[in-house]
Structure 1
Amino acid sequence: MFMYEMPTRLFFGKDCLNGAGKDLKKLGQKALIVTGRHSAKINGSQKAVTEALKSAGMTWVLFDQIENNPSIKTVRKAAEFGKAEHVDFVIGIGGGSPMDAAKVIALLCTNDLDDKALFTGPYVRPLPIVTVPTTSGTGSEVTKVGVLTNPAAGTKQSVNTPLIFPVLSYADPSFTESVSTTVTIDTAIDALSHAIEGYMSRKSTPMSDVWAEEAMRFLGPHLTDLEGTIPYAVREDLMYGATAAGIVIAQTGTTLVHGMGYQLTYYKGLSHGRANGLLLPGYMQLMAETMADKVEKVWDILGFSGLEDFTDCLHSLMPERISLTEDEIAAYVRLTLPTGAVASTAYEVTGDVIARLYRSLA
Structure 2
Amino acid sequence: MFTYYMPTKVFFGKACVAQSGDVLADLGRKALLVTGRHSAKVNGSQAAVVEKLDELGISWFLFDEVENNPSVATIRKAAAFASEKGVDFVIGIGGGSPMDAAKAIALVCTNELDDEQLFTGPYGKPLPIVAVPTTAGTGSEVTKVSVLTNPKAGTKQSINTPLIFPTYAFVDPAFTESVPETVTVDTAIDALSHAVEGYMSTASTPMSDVWAEEAMRFLGVHLTDLTGDVSPVVREDLLYGSTLAGITIAQTGTTMVHSMGYMLTYYKGISHGRANGLLLPAYMKLMEETMADKAEKVWAILGLAGLDDFTALMKDLMGDTVDLSDEEIKKFVTMTLPTGGVQRTPYPVTAELLTHIYQQLIGNR
Structure 1 residue 326: deviation in Å?
Answer: 1.1
Equivalent in the alignment of 1:96:
96
> What are the superposed Cα offsets for residues 176-229 of structure 1, whole Å, 9 maximum, x if unpaired?
100000000000000000000000000000000000000000000100000111
CA distance in 2, matches of 1:274, 1:216: 18
SS at match of 2:354: helix
Stretch moving more, 160-169 or 317-326: 317-326
The answer on whether the counterparts of 1:139 and 1:191 sit within 8 Å (CA) in structure 2 is: yes
Equivalent in the alignment of 1:49:
49
Structure 1 residue 20: deviation in Å?
Answer: 3.4
SS at match of 1:18: helix
> What are the superposed Cα offsets for residues 257-310 of structure 1, whole Å, 9 maximum, x if unpaired?
000000000000000000000000000001111000000000000000000000
Equivalent in the alignment of 1:168:
168
CA distance in 2, matches of 1:288, 1:241: 24
Structure 1 residue 320: deviation in Å?
Answer: 4.4
Kindly tell me the number of residue pairs found equivalent between the two proteins: 362
SS at match of 1:225: coil
SS at match of 1:61: strand
Q: Match for 2:219: what amino acid?
A: L
Equivalent in the alignment of 2:182:
182
SS at match of 1:354: helix
Runs of 4+ in structure 1 over 4 Å off: none
CA distance in 2, matches of 1:47, 1:122: 36
Equivalent in the alignment of 1:293:
293
Contiguous gaps of at least 5 residues in structure 2? none
Structure 1 residue 91: deviation in Å?
Answer: 0.0
Identity of aligned residues (%): 68
Stretch moving more, 182-191 or 52-61: 52-61
Equivalent in the alignment of 1:231:
231
Structure 1 residue 21: deviation in Å?
Answer: 3.7
Equivalent in the alignment of 1:269:
269
Matched, 1:2 2:2: yes
> What are the superposed Cα offsets for residues 37-91 of structure 1, whole Å, 9 maximum, x if unpaired?
0000000000000011111111100000000000000000000000000000000
Normalised to the residue count of structure 1, the TM-score between the two structures is 0.99
CA distance in 1, matches of 2:204, 2:74: 34
Normalised to the residue count of structure 2, the TM-score between the two structures is 0.99
> What are the superposed Cα offsets for residues 306-345 of structure 1, whole Å, 9 maximum, x if unpaired?
0000010111111241131111110000110110000000
Equivalent in the alignment of 2:157:
157
Contiguous gaps of at least 5 residues in structure 1? none
The answer on whether the counterparts of 1:329 and 1:355 sit within 8 Å (CA) in structure 2 is: yes
Matched, 1:107 2:107: yes
The answer on whether the counterparts of 1:142 and 1:169 sit within 8 Å (CA) in structure 2 is: yes
Equivalent in the alignment of 2:219:
219
CA distance in 2, matches of 1:204, 1:12: 25
Q: Match for 2:221: what amino acid?
A: P
SS at match of 1:228: coil
Q: Aligned runs of 1:112-131 on 2, under 5 Å?
A: 112-131=112-131
CA distance in 2, matches of 1:325, 1:77: 36
Q: Aligned runs of 1:327-346 on 2, under 5 Å?
A: 327-346=327-346
CA distance in 2, matches of 1:324, 1:285: 22
Stretch moving more, 310-319 or 211-220: 310-319
SS at match of 2:112: coil
Matched, 1:70 2:79: no
RMSD: 0.6
